[in-house]
Amino acid sequence: MGKKNLVKILTCGAIAACLVAALGLTACGGNSSASSSAKSDVELQIFAANSLSKAMDEAQELYTQQTGVTFADTQYKASGELNEMLAAGSYADIEITASKGTMDTAVEKGYVDESTRTEMFTNELVIVSKQGSNLKDVTLQDIASGTYTLCVGDDSVPAGNYAAQALSTVGAYEPPASEAGKTGKEISGKDGSYVGITPILQTSVGNVCKQAENGDVDLAIVYSSDVYRFGGVEIVGIIPDDTHKAIVYPGAVCKDSKNAQAANEFIQWCVTDPDAQKIFQKWGFDLS
């Protein structure tokens, strides 16, 4: 009696498993046929700063339509992490970081070809909070006073470095001994420590913004483009741009790239083509 039922149950389970597997197989079939229909022999692998995610996806889609060049799954990570991935042996054709410092590292370590380095975009730093928080005109001093909980990027996140530079001007961040006595633009915003506040550190600027959106923290320091990227947060304060280094996104072709020519063409297209400009201005990136 029980045994028969058991067999039935097991059969049900097996059928369910088969269904799941079939779903996976058909989905995969769909994918592979879709990718093979877009005929092109060049596929570019891009490593881009996390903040670029939505804008770059849209730009790539347009570029594929215009030229047939396709793109492998673009990695949107903190710029420091992109360098680590290149160091660990992952392949990329183009690297776009969110600060000059991280690109300098990539040049130094020989990950990218310096002659192709192009300053692509600029951005702004803002203070955001969860939408509807009713905060207004929050300043760096307000943050330094410790009234609010704060989330910023960690050392590998350029947005976190910029935030640290800005906070150092109000005494809320102490640079490491090698940069003692300096503040703002003159420090790297790495390896120091926060004074009087204990911000939550996140591994990408996207995560930083998410923490504010979820209301886990009162405030987060992110790029103005992140506000449009996610929604759900609102700008409650502007950070004066003379308190931190200029926010510039350099892009360069990687040394190991097998498609260096095509990669360079894409970088140039991003900064010169009007249709590309339309996409980047929609997502809040000034062309540099």
Partner 1 sequence: MGVSDCIRRMGGMVLAAMLVASMGMPCLAFATDDDLGSVDEPAAGASGAGEQQTTNGVTVSSEGDSALISGCSFGISDFYRAQAGSNKAVGDRYWGYNYYIGTEPDNLAVISTGAYAVVYVPKATQEAFGFLYDSHNAQDYLKRYFIALDDVNAKGSSRLANVEKWYFTQEQSYEVDGVVFNFDQELAEGRYYAYVIGTDGSDVTSKANSDRIKLEFADFARAVPPSDVNIVQATTGLAWLGNFLATMDYSPLWVTLRTTLVAIIFIFVLGLAAAYFTMRISPRAQSIFDAIFTIPMVLPPTVCGFLLLLAFGRSTPVGQWFIDVGFPLVFSWQATVIAAVVVAFPLMYRSSRGAFENLDPNMLDAARTLGWSNLRIFFKLMLPLAWSSIAAATVLAYARALGEFGATLFLAGNYAGVTRTIPIAIYFEWMNGNTDIAIFWTIVIIIFSFIVIMFINLWSSRTTKYRRRQNPKKKRDALHDTGAPQMEGGLESAIATEDAGLPEELRP
Q: Considering only residues 5, 33, 36, 37, which one is a binding residue for partner 1 as defined by CB under 8 A? A: 5
The single residue among 232, 246, 268, 269 that binds partner 1, judged by CB under 8 A, is 232
Please say whether the beta carbons of 8 and 36 come within 8 A: no
- Taking residues 101 to 140 in sequence order and writing x for each that binds partner 1 by CB under 8 A, - otherwise, the string is ---------------------------x--x---------
Question: Is 145 among the residues that bind partner 1 (CB under 8 A)?
Answer: no
Shortest reach from residue 203's CB to partner 1, in Å:
9
Cα distances from 127 to residues 157, 167, 192, 225, 248, in angstroms, run: 16, 12, 21, 12, 18
In sequence order, what are the beta bridge partners of 221? 127
Q: Are 28 and 20 in contact (CB under 8 A)?
A: no
Alpha-carbon distance 210 to 213, whole Å? 5
Structure tokens at 288: 């540099």
Give the residues across from 76 on adjacent strands: 48
Cβ distance to partner 1 smaller for residue 2 or 181: 2
Residue placing its CB nearer to partner 1 in the complex, 10 or 38: 10
DSSP 8-state secondary structure symbol assigned to residue 71 = E
Is residue 206 at the binding interface for partner 1, with CB under 8 A as the rule?
A: yes
Considering the rule CB under 8 A, would residue 24 count as an interface residue with partner 1? yes
DSSP 50: G
CA distance 77 to 50: 5
Q: Which stretch binds partner 1 (CB under 8 A): 36-44, 156-164, 183-191, 201-209?
A: 201-209
Between residue 62 and residue 81, which ones bind partner 1 under the rule CB under 8 A? 72-73, 75-76
* Residue that is written with structure tokens 């006595």 in the block: 181
Positions in the binding site for partner 1 (CB under 8 A): 1-3, 5-6, 9-10, 13, 16-17, 20-21, 23-25, 27-28, 30-31, 53-54, 72-73, 75-76, 85, 87-91, 128, 131, 204, 206-207, 210, 224-225, 227-235, 271, 274-275, 277-278, 280-288
